[in-house]
Amino acid sequence: MKHILFLLIIIVFTSCAKKRHTEAEQIKVFYKGYKNSDYNLIKNALADSLTTVFGDYTTTYSQQIYYEQFKWDSIFKPDYELVDLNHKDGQLVATVSMRSLKLEFLKNNPMTCRYQFQFTSGKISRIKELDCNGVDWTVWQNEVNALANWIKINHPEMDGFIHDLSMKGALNYVKAIELYKNREVD
């Protein structure tokens, strides 16, 4: 009887450890997909739907809609690096460093944030931003405002690009940055 109980305990602990390992691997695959610009890797790590929580913004994506977000992000030539992955309060927390053309313009390049991951059936189903230490949100907002206001006055046909999360919106964002950087200053 003792042997059977001992065997059951080992099986339970082994399966829990294996689950954690699988979840950690899913996070690594997720960021490998970003690193290699390979949405299929990302898709394979995701549950049928993904909820993201960034500050006050909660968004739920299907895999297809998240692909649109991935394509938008790819226009800024991002570089994601998974810096650390650990357990905190029973959850997996990833520390990620990001670089991109957009972050460079917003004077917060690189940007390092911590994200808490939740899973459904071993797949990523929720990502919550915990913090982005070192990010200067005031500078960020000032740069966004300066760019958006300048575009509104000088290139009104592109107005609204900041809120356009389509490929066209991302391309306009990059074009707006180029126009703004090359503007003639009085």
pLDDT digits (tens, 9 = 90+) for 5-22: 443 344 444 444 444 458
- 112 and 91 within one domain: yes
**Of 92, 108, 135, the domain-final residue:** 135
**Tally of structural domains, the chain:** 2
- 161 and 91 within one domain: no
- 57 and 92 within one domain: yes
Domain that residue 85 falls in: 2-135
Dig out the tokens for 108 from the structure: 């917060």
What is the Cα–Cα distance from 99 to 4, expressed in whole angstroms?
A: 53
- 145 and 131 within one domain: no
Q: What is the pLDDT of residue 185?
A: 67
Contact 52, 58 (CB under 8 A): yes
Contact 91, 103 (CB under 8 A): no
- Residue 109 DSSP class: -
Of 171, 150, 148, whose CA–CA distance to 160 is shortest?
148
CATH (domain of 119): 3.10.450.50
**Sign (positive or negative) of CA dihedral 106, 30, 82, 12:** positive
- 172 and 141 within one domain: yes
- 164 and 128 within one domain: no
- 147 and 126 within one domain: no
pLDDT digits (tens, 9 = 90+) for 63-115: 999 999 999 999 999 999 999 999 888 889 999 999 999 999 999 999 999 99
Q: Does the pLDDT value for residue 186 go beyond 80?
A: no
Residue that is written with structure tokens 């126009």 in the block: 179
Q: What is the pLDDT of residue 21?
A: 53
Among 19-33, 48-62, 120-134, which stretch is predicted with the lowest mean pLDDT? 19-33
Q: What is the pLDDT of residue 18?
A: 41
- 46 and 110 within one domain: yes
pLDDT digits (tens, 9 = 90+) for 117-168: 999 999 999 999 999 988 999 999 999 999 999 999 999 999 999 999 899 9
Whole-model pTM: value is 0.82
Write out 127-150 in H/E/C secondary structure: EEEEECCCCCHHHHHHHHHHHHHH
**Of 135, 154, 173, the domain-final residue:** 135
Of 70, 71, 51, 53, whose CA–CA distance to 61 is shortest?
51
- 106 and 43 within one domain: yes
- 111 and 19 within one domain: yes
What is the Cα–Cα distance from 73 to 103, expressed in whole angstroms?
A: 11
